[in-house]
Structure 1
Amino acid sequence: MVKKKGSALLMVLIALMVLSLIGTAIISYSFSNFKLRKQVSDSYADRYIAEGGIDQSYGAIVKLSSEVESGTTLNALKSKIETEFNNKSNSYFDNLYNGDLKISISSQINTTLKIVVTSTYKNNETVIGNFEIIGNGQGFSVALTEKIFK
């Protein structure tokens, strides 16, 4: 009988160890799941901010093309757009957007100017906007033809 007195304590200790391991595993799983959800959420937020850069670019291009005098050539508008995009501290861009905008004039055929704007924010969330500006001699019409999410 003397030998069985410590066996209850041993069983309780083993049960506590098993429950502690299970509890630790559940807590660890919960924290890793939370971190993953936070990463995904941040990635979506960064992508929306990068898309906002394209939307602001569209607004800036529309505003620039409407501010030019009638009779302005497509080349003059092109150089004005390039100048304004290289100087993001102007009134065309909201101070809330602090991502990286790159503009390239891909081609100019007769009265059509094709522009590619790349907006990148934080974790390399990138959105590419393709724009077309068509000049008809009396003004310009601007269209965002495509948004590409990378």
Structure 2
Amino acid sequence: MSAHRNGGTTTSRTPLPRPSSATPPPARPVPSVAPVLDELAEVYAGLVLGVRGYVRKDGLEKVCLGVSGGIDSALVLLAVDALGAGHVEALLMPSRYNSAETRADARRRADNLGVRSHEISIFWFAGFPVPLRGGTGAPVRAVAFPRTGS
């Protein structure tokens, strides 16, 4: 401790203990930073986030998407990534214009993603006015399908 006199005032200073060279400095927490995504991965992550938010905010527990076996199957993958396979169902709607291979592709894609699928002819919907409406004339938010099939 040393005392200094400065204009009639006495101040005392106590030197701080110096850390021993054997004692390492305390570890700093490493901030978590999300990895930088390439442009395509960033767009896909944004789509997954948007679908998840939309479905949750709308209060839906499940979604049902039409699958033809073509590029629209990518939407089912997006929904599975956003919601989980247990919250996605695939609606296969073949017509006379679909080949047996296309129908098999649609079913295989649904099976590979682990989603429940239903097959209903697209012509089943022909009797419904567009947009689909219920018995009261109000828009239909969901269509119930029998629990058959895979």
Q: TM (normalized to structure 2)?
A: 0.25
RCO higher in 1 or 2 (8 Å CA, sep ≥ 6)? Answer: 1
Structure with bigger helix share is 1
Relative to total residues, which structure has the larger strand share, 1 or 2? 1
Q: TM-score, normalised by structure 1?
A: 0.25
